[in-house]
Structure 1
Amino acid sequence: MATASSTAFTRSRRCATAASCRRIRPNVSLLRQRTFPLLAERPVHLNAVLRRSTPRLGHPSGQRGSLHGSRRSNRTKHGLSACSIPRYPIRPTAADVRGGKEFSMKVLHSMKLAAVVFLAASLSVGTADAARREKADEPKIDYPDATRESPKADNSPRLGKQIQKMFDLYNEGEDMEGAIKIAEEVLASDRAKPYDRGVALMIAGNAALGVDDYGRAISYLERAIEENALPNNNHFATMHTLASVYAQEDKIPEAVALIDRMIAETKSKDPDVYGLKGGIHYNAGQYDLAIDAIKRAIELKTDGAPENNWLQMLMAAYNETGRDAEAVALAEQLQKQAPDDKRTLLNLASLYAQTDMTDKAAALLDDARSRGMLTEQKDYEILYAIYLNMDGKEADAAKVIQEGLDKGILKADAKTYTFLAQSLYFSDQVDAAIAAYQKAAPLASDGETALALSQILTNEDRNQEAKAAAQQALSKGLKKPGEAWMVIARSEYYMDNFEAAKVAYREAAKDPATRDQAQKALAQISR
């Protein structure tokens, strides 16, 4: 039997092979993704393996010799849970494409114009003054180059009070269902002329939008266009609205067809129309078409700066088509214009990470952290993930994780403590790493974290604790239980419990993954 006096071997702390020093790192690569509407940011699970071969000094001579397969791996990270990192850039949302509050205001404006047209047409007076008053009340022609001849607003005077009430309810915004009810009454009336029906359908469709009933809204707005009786301003505004709703409801082919029809029939130079077209193409995955449309919108936008959501979509479309230099340049421009805008900052950081400028990504995010801009779990996760993918930045990763835990932003769960432990261990803060692993192991759903803890403990000659951690790992379940039995066997051996070591090696030999090592070690200590 091998004894301390019969061998002069030292137990090495260095890795048996470079592969034994592997660790699982979170990867912050931007994978291509298309979403509409914006879904909860889905995590990407990565286990990119990087290796280290930095040796640590061995024990003093005169201690028990190393067993076959017992050179304990320094900093081996087997089976760590993969870190979930949110995907960026942050994609434009359905509300962005639809225009949010601006969209609602445009609809309201269109309705007020419709009211003016209707009321002017409904005045049953034949005087020259009335004619002049009607002409003065004419709205601005929004589509002067339209190929469609604008129909005359020929309404039924007998329905005037009902339609006026419908307008009032809609514009007050308090009783959209009441406005829809009156619209249905107008539609059911034998007195209703095509213009009356068109107005009623337009109001009903927009009122349905006001109560988030997109199915009814689509039906009413489609019928309003089919009625073909509204003046051009309202007819094409209804097309614009319906295309937006199609996009909101993921009816992308319908949205594309309608917005293209609108542009063809109006020869529009309205930047908002091209902005909507760009958004629809973007969410259809037609990124080249999206780029063309958004660039056209920006070109036509002569009164003020381009809409921010157009620029965000353009940046994302550049990213989707591999035009990374253009995406980064635009992201830098946006971030310079709005340095305190978190969404813009995160997009730029993610693009830096994707284009191998991780030092810039880390610096940008760390500055944001120092300014209190990182307020969500995913913000801290992406920063520490970037640090863990940079050489020599493990201490920075540990600092970020610990701060996130202290602030209650990061969850005190197995994943967080595991990555804290890994960061500490690779920055040579071994005792702190062990403490973090000891917090992680009981919280883990399986025994892999406890196994990693046991391997570190045995490497630090804390054999009794290593044995206990390996037993905990076995009790929680392992993919390769033989690895835990190898830790137990080595711990028993170095505590001079030779018979217990033999028993553990026999258990390890039952696992195909550790059979050869266990059998050779067992043969060695049985001589």
Structure 2
Amino acid sequence: MSQIFRRPLVVALTAALGVSLLAASAIAQQKSESMRDADQRARSMSDGKGEHPSGKKDGDAAKKPALYPNAARVAPEIKVSPKASKLLQAMQEQYGKDDWAGVMAKADEIVGLSSANAYEKSFAYSMAGNAAASADDQAKAEEYFTKAVEANGLDNDGHYSTMYNLAATQFGEDKFADALKTMDRFLAETKSDKAEHLAFRAGILANLERYEEAAAIYKSLIAQNPNDKRILMNAVAALQNAGKFPEANGLLEDAYKRNMLTESRELRSLYIGYMNVERWDDARKVIEDGTAKGILKPGPDLARDYQVLAQNAYAADNLPLAIEFYKRAAPMAADGEAYLNLAKVLDMAGKKAEAKAAAKQALEKGVKKPEDANRILAR
């Protein structure tokens, strides 16, 4: 009989569902949303609907509530010289035409002016950062956003939106320590308690493998909004990666009872979690329920999971149950290994004819050790 891979195999399966996928994808989406918002802000500038190079705002923009109302920072006085104003307006026109290279070149020209003040530099750097991000030059975007923040010349909405985009850009470059430092500063200065900001920080922590800290943030967010499935799954992933399977299972069980787990990866996260704490019957029930509802589809992943159940049944000397699970796994497996294990268990159970039939199917699908199948056929 093949070696019984129990907890090591299950842990490997869980890792495939962990923070490296879930949190990263969530933050990638968040980063995309952040950059889209920045792009819209920059375009509103170029359309004259937002902040003007003169530092003045139109009536509609001025009525909008502050994005960061709790920020303690005192916004600097905004002044723009006639010479810089013309260049800033020209840069905005280039942005409106998606001339990213032109925007960056114009920004460099503006900040190179000996008379350029903090606002003019910050405004130019911020626009250039958005242009670089749109051109998919993340390293350049980080450089420009950093300089925009350092120049410290924008109003609070512009200043902290730029800081947030800096953190998102650093995350996109896998500079997680830098992203965390930027995000910590952002949260400390804005005193923001928005879910998207806290979730972003949690995701950065997860990518730094600080899973327990990430999970604590996610759990606090779940308490505020228990129906947010993306936050829930990120909390589960962080807990699983921290080895806290019972706690992760508790969150998933609650969601399962409320019919929130509607995708195969979500159900798989629950039953793999059960396997990790050796709740084999519960894992089986979830698999059977998911299969009956059509959420879990036949395929190599489901075949591997059935084989884990089969291996456990074999280790518990329950040959009939092991045979049942191998029979379910074998037809959908990518190779003939499940058929070979089925043949071995059938042979041990004294079912020689069935064992030979399974061994033949194993050879047809391909196995690493065909001699094992041939020995059963030769008997």
Shift of 1:314: 1.4
Separation in 1 of the partners of 2:339 and 2:165?
A: 53
Who is 2:358 aligned against? 469
Aligned-residue Cα RMSD (Å) equals: 3.9
Moved more, 352-361 or 368-377: 368-377
Who is 2:336 aligned against? 447
Task: Report Cα offsets for 1:286-328 as digits up to 9, x if no partner.
Answer: 32322221122112225xx434333223112223334344222
Aligned residue runs from structure 1 range 279-428, under 5 A: 279-302=168-191, 305-391=192-278, 393-423=279-309, 426=312
Shift of 1:241: 4.1
Instruction: Decide which of 14, 17, 21 is 1:87's aligned counterpart.
Output: 21
Shift of 1:415: 3.4
Task: Report Cα offsets for 1:175-212 as digits up to 9, x if no partner.
Answer: xxxxxxxxxxxxxxxxxxx855642441332343xxxx
Instruction: Decide which of 458, 463, 485 is 2:374's aligned counterpart.
Output: 485
Give 1 or 2 for the bigger CA radius of gyration: 1
Instruction: Decide which of 149, 152, 176 is 1:263's aligned counterpart.
Output: 149
Who is 1:219 aligned against? 101
Shift of 1:466: 0.6
Task: Name the aligned partner's letter for residue 332 of structure 1.
Answer: K
Aligned residue runs from structure 1 range 235-250, under 5 A: 236-247=122-133, 250=136
Task: Report Cα offsets for 1:486-510 as digits up to 9, x if no partner.
Answer: 3334xxxxxxxxxxx3xxxxxxxxx
**Are 1:315 and 1:326, in contact at CA under 8 Å, matched by a contact in 2?**
yes
Q: Secondary structure at the match of 1:285?
A: coil
Who is 1:202 aligned against? 92
Shift of 1:394: 1.4
Separation in 1 of the partners of 2:13 and 2:339?
A: 29
Moved more, 333-342 or 231-240: 231-240
Task: Name the aligned partner's letter for residue 256 of structure 1.
Answer: E
**Are 1:150 and 1:232, in contact at CA under 8 Å, matched by a contact in 2?**
no
Q: Which has the higher helix share?
A: 2
Give the count of matched residue pairs: 357
Instruction: Decide which of 126, 134, 137 is 1:251's aligned counterpart.
Output: 137
Who is 1:276 aligned against? 165
Separation in 1 of the partners of 2:212 and 2:301?
A: 34
Separation in 1 of the partners of 2:320 and 2:298?
A: 19
Task: Report Cα offsets for 1:47-80 as digits up to 9, x if no partner.
Answer: xxxxxxxxxxxxxxxxxxxxxxxxxxxxxxxxxx
* Alpha-carbon spacing, 1:221–1:135, altered in 2? closer, same or farther (3 Å): closer
Shift of 1:149: 5.8
Task: Name the aligned partner's letter for residue 180 of structure 2.
Answer: I
Shift of 1:460: 2.1
* Alpha-carbon spacing, 1:26–1:227, altered in 2? closer, same or farther (3 Å): same
* Alpha-carbon spacing, 1:371–1:101, altered in 2? closer, same or farther (3 Å): farther
* Alpha-carbon spacing, 1:417–1:29, altered in 2? closer, same or farther (3 Å): closer
* Alpha-carbon spacing, 1:235–1:202, altered in 2? closer, same or farther (3 Å): farther
Q: Secondary structure at the match of 2:233?
A: helix
Aligned residue runs from structure 1 range 56-135, under 5 A: 87-91=21-25, 92-93=27-28, 95-96=30-31, 99=34, 102-111=37-46, 113=48
**Are 2:23 and 2:234, in contact at CA under 8 Å, matched by a contact in 1?**
yes
Who is 2:11 aligned against? 27
Separation in 1 of the partners of 2:57 and 2:243?
A: 63
Separation in 1 of the partners of 2:358 and 2:326?
A: 10
**Are 1:387 and 1:396, in contact at CA under 8 Å, matched by a contact in 2?**
yes
Separation in 2 of the partners of 1:443 and 1:332?
A: 37
Q: Secondary structure at the match of 1:479?
A: coil
Shift of 1:401: 1.6
Instruction: Decide which of 53, 78, 81 is 1:151's aligned counterpart.
Output: 81
How high is the TM-score relative to the length of structure 1? 0.58
Shift of 1:461: 1.9
Q: Secondary structure at the match of 2:23?
A: coil
Q: Provide structure 2 residue ranges, at least 5 long, that are not aligned to the other structure.
A: 63-72
Task: Name the aligned partner's letter for residue 263 of structure 1.
Answer: V
Task: Report Cα offsets for 1:120-150 as digits up to 9, x if no partner.
Answer: 99xxxxxxxxxxxx9998x97x99537x962
Q: Secondary structure at the match of 1:485?
A: helix
How high is the TM-score relative to the length of structure 2? 0.78
Shift of 1:469: 0.5
Task: Report Cα offsets for 1:328-375 as digits up to 9, x if no partner.
Answer: 221221222221111111111111112221011112112212222222
Task: Name the aligned partner's letter for residue 293 of structure 2.
Answer: K
Q: Provide structure 1 residue ranges, at least 5 long, that are not aligned to the other structure.
A: 1-14, 32-42, 45-83, 122-133, 155-193, 209-215, 490-500, 502-527
